[in-house]
Amino acid sequence: MMYENLLVEMRDKVAVVTINRPDKLNALNNKTMSEIKAFFASAADDDSICAVVFTGAGEKAFVAGADIGEINALSPTEAVRFARLGQETFTSIERLGKPCIAAVNGFALGGGCELAMSFHLRVASENAKFGQPEVKLGIIPGYGGTQRLPRLVGKGRALELLLSGGMIDAEEAYRIGLVNKVYPLGELVDNAVGLANKCLANGPLALSYAICAVNQGMESPIDEALANEAHLFGLTVATDDSKEGTSAFLEKRKAEFKGK
């Protein structure tokens, strides 16, 4: 599939996707959001894509935010639809049963921070900046920021960012658990791909079930979450990959997973 605002490069089994609007600091306009949604819908059914690394073009921004011009022209009803498109798109990333890594290479503000938070893992360059500055515009985040941020960093730290509209740097983002690793800018994407390949060395069905268990468990009481974990554990034990993985361990050899 061809995209106007996305570049897609395959590095073996890892799709490296780049938002290519550097003149707009990779801001999320409606066209770009629709293309992101289309890519992840396609990736869900594409067996050649086993993991995704997502970044922004240039050295200044991952995604500097949503397109403010588009927001300014919205009616309240249109604003709800606008928010729901972003929420649905980002949820499709979060629920993709393949490792998805945001490689944040600069500003990740507003919708850009919300986009990064929908990925399973986040790595950042040393020059990265994170924030939810929507209150400075008299609005609140609409793409999931008020929900994913406290789940990642806790209610107090989330509210500080949401209410102040301030920015934090990569080291502070790492300290509070918003990002997993920090790298020099020139090494960011390669390290993100390396992290993706480290995940892909494991059983693909196990990866998918682990993502599912975490996502569902975060929304459930602990007893329900544990019951679901046990159910998914049972499903993994029934797979050929489980037999291969446990046999390989006992035989002291490398497992050869088939995703079955």
Question: What's the pLDDT at 146?
Answer: 97
- From 66, 61, 65, select the one nearest 125 (Cα to Cα): 61
Question: Quick one: pLDDT at residue 241?
Answer: 87
DSSP states along 80-125? HHHHHHHHHHHHHHHT-SS-EEEEE-SEEETHHHHHHHTSSEEEEE
Compute the distance between CA of residue 107 and CA of residue 105 in angstroms, rounded to an integer. 7
What CATH number labels 204-250? 1.10.12
pLDDT at 245: 83
| pLDDT at 70 (0 to 100) | 84
**pLDDT value for 73:** 87
The token pair at 168 is 């934090």
Which tokens sit at 133? 């500055």
Structure tokens at 18: 């780049």
- What local confidence, expressed as pLDDT, does residue 132 receive? 97
Helix (H) or strand (E) holding 150: helix 145-153
| Annotation says 59 is catalytic | no
Nearest to 61 by CA among 9, 20, 93: 20
Query: For the residues of 188-256, what is the DSSP string, one character each?
Result: HHHHHHHHHHHHHTS-HHHHHHHHHHHHHHHTS-HHHHHHHHHHHHHHHHTSHHHHHHHHHHHTTS---
Distance CA 40, CA 159 (A): 30
What single letter denotes the amino acid at residue 231?
H
| Spans of the chain below 50 pLDDT | none
- Report the C-alpha gap between 65 and 63 in whole angstroms: 5
Residue tagged active-site, from 4, 35, 59, 114: 114
Which residues touch 89 (CB under 8 Å, ≥6 apart)? 33, 36, 37, 40
Burial 100-119 (b: 16+ CB within 10 A, else e): bbbbbbbbbbbbbbbbbbbb
For residue 96, give both structure tokens.
């993709």
Range(s) within the chain of domains with CATH label 1.10.12: 204-250
Q: Which of 134, 171, 172, 229 is flagged as catalytic?
A: 134
Catalytic residue flag (residue 160): no
Cβ neighbors of 155 (< 8 A, separation 6 or more) are none
State the span(s) of the chain assigned CATH 3.90.226.10: 6-200
Fold (CATH) for 6-200: 2-enoyl-CoA Hydratase; Chain A, domain 1 (3.90.226)
Cβ contacts of 107 within 8 Å, gap of 6 or more? 25, 60, 61, 62, 63, 64, 65, 128, 129
Q: What is the pLDDT of residue 257?
A: 87
The predicted structure's pLDDT at residue 219:
85
